[in-house]
Structure 1
Amino acid sequence: MDQIQIIAECPLFSGMTDMEIRGLVEEIRAIKKYYRKGEVLLHAGMVPGEFGIVLEGCIHILREEFSGSTTLLAQGMPGEIFAEAFAAAGEPSLVTVEAARDTEVLWIHFGRMMRRSGTGRAQQILVENMMQILAKKNLFLAGRVAHLSRRTLREKVLSYLGGQAARQGSNSFEIPFDRQGLADYLAADRSALSAVLGKLKKEGVLTFRKNHFTLLNEDVDAENAGKGGKV
């Protein structure tokens, strides 16, 4: 796929023509950089003036613990944006961003983008899109807090899966994590997570294969998550 098409899939440029996107990318002097698997794009504690758009490959967004361990918070695929909240706020990054495989990123300077001259259609769309992106990121983080605030791992799992079902409008859906990734997202041990999923499957609450899940009980939600025992 042409990289302009990938950039066009990024929510930041939603509603723009390819010509408008090319003009903006050139005017704000966006920079492409290539990273090998395992290479760090952004260290926790850095104040990024730029945010990134994944063009090729995949990134992992990690939280580094005091003990030296890391927790996977999210991953970014081609067309997805990252570090925009820290760049917008001018605050130190709370996360480390690492290339999960060989990856190419388009870096955009936030201040240069927002100070871009012009009040035309493309500029208006750009500002509106960025506001929506930041708002959705806040909602995403609020959702994760809601999942992690559940008392038991069973409740956390059902809260997350119920949220995914609601978001995708179906009781049968795929999640963006493998088993280890889901364990990291829920701040849980992988073996404990597997035990919970196995128990839920045995009870007829859900079925799953790899990252595809089907909730068999339409009433499964955060309020019902604790029923049927604790783990």
Structure 2
Amino acid sequence: MYSSIASTLIQYPLFSCFEKEYLSDVLERFSIYPNLCRKSTFLHSEGDPCKFMDVLLTGELEIQKIDENGNLLTIASFFPISSLGENLMFGDSNIYPMNAFCPVDSEVLQLDRDFILFLCSENQDFLLALLKDISGKALILTDKIKMISHKSLREKIFEYLARESTAQKSSKVKLRTSKKDLAQLFGVQRTSLSRELAKLRSEGLVEFDAESITLKKLENWT
């Protein structure tokens, strides 16, 4: 069993610095094995203390929050192989700010602080990869907070498209992600995003297809 888990883990860049045999031995030494999170159940609830770094081996995890109007929003989705919790478990205020929900049956490997600290002490490459991972997730979280807070959906769309247009040096913005993921970035339901894009198109401000959004009337975007 541990050899199989190790084979899966080393596919994740964070653990790719280890040999399978070594990682298998350490997993067995710490008695770490996957937990099954059943469909439509919560892996963690808002306010729970974060005691583990969760590595998703199979299935899917959604980070959810309820907005001020009572709407359920999916802020982020995780698919194999990915992790969450490593940016919380070592903090003084290690409390989950949102719910972690399993929309399908999912296998999760829960790695505690002692296990992670042991790997850090054994392998500097792992330590550096972990710090890079935590830093990257902090930046992603900052971007999402900016998008979600204190702006209308139209303002968020304008800001995102203007930034991408500048970066791509084109009024035709090629989407780097799906519209579902964009809706998550903006903190809204996908239907709300589609409705607002349709309004912008009816006003002659954009044209769009499945892969791109073209900015019209460019004087309105600067």
Structure 2-normalised TM-score? 0.76
Cα 1:81–1:163 change in 2 (3 A) is farther
With 157-166 and 86-95 compared, the bigger mean Cα shift is at 157-166
Unpaired segments ≥5 residues, structure 2: none
Measured after TM superposition, the shift of residue 142 of structure 1 is 1.1
Q: Specify the alignment match of 1:33 in structure 2.
A: 35
Decide which of 85, 88, 94 is 2:87's aligned counterpart: 85
Cα 1:72–1:191 change in 2 (3 A) is closer
Map 1:39-58 → 2, pairs under 5 A: 39-58=41-60
Q: Partner of 2:144: helix, strand, or coil? A: helix
2:94 maps to 1:100: no
Q: Specify the alignment match of 2:212 in structure 1.
A: 214
Measured after TM superposition, the shift of residue 20 of structure 1 is 3.8
CA distance in 2, matches of 1:135, 1:204: 36
Measured after TM superposition, the shift of residue 60 of structure 1 is 0.5
Q: What amino acid maps onto 1:186 in structure 2?
A: F
**Superimposed CA distance per residue, residues 63-106 of structure 1 (whole angstroms, 9 cap, x where no aligned partner):** 24577543211011001101222212152211111112111111
CA distance in 1, matches of 2:45, 2:24: 29
**Superimposed CA distance per residue, residues 145-202 of structure 1 (whole angstroms, 9 cap, x where no aligned partner):** 23235744223124445667869xx953452562xx6445423365542222224456
Q: How big is the alpha-carbon RMSD for the aligned residues of Structure 1 and Structure 2?
A: 3.5
**Superimposed CA distance per residue, residues 35-80 of structure 1 (whole angstroms, 9 cap, x where no aligned partner):** 2211111111111211211100101011245775432110110011
Cα 1:160–1:26 change in 2 (3 A) is farther
CA distance in 2, matches of 1:194, 1:25: 45
With 152-161 and 80-89 compared, the bigger mean Cα shift is at 152-161
CA distance in 1, matches of 2:163, 2:20: 34
Measured after TM superposition, the shift of residue 125 of structure 1 is 1.8
Structure 1-normalised TM-score? 0.73
Q: Specify the alignment match of 2:73 in structure 1.
A: 71
Aligned length: 212
Unpaired segments ≥5 residues, structure 1: none
Cα 1:8–1:47 change in 2 (3 A) is same
Map 1:81-230 → 2, pairs under 5 A: 81-90=83-92, 91-114=94-117, 116=118, 119-120=121-122, 123-148=123-148, 151-160=151-160, 171-175=173-177, 178=180, 182-188=182-188, 190-201=190-201, 203=204, 205-209=206-210, 213-216=211-214, 227=221
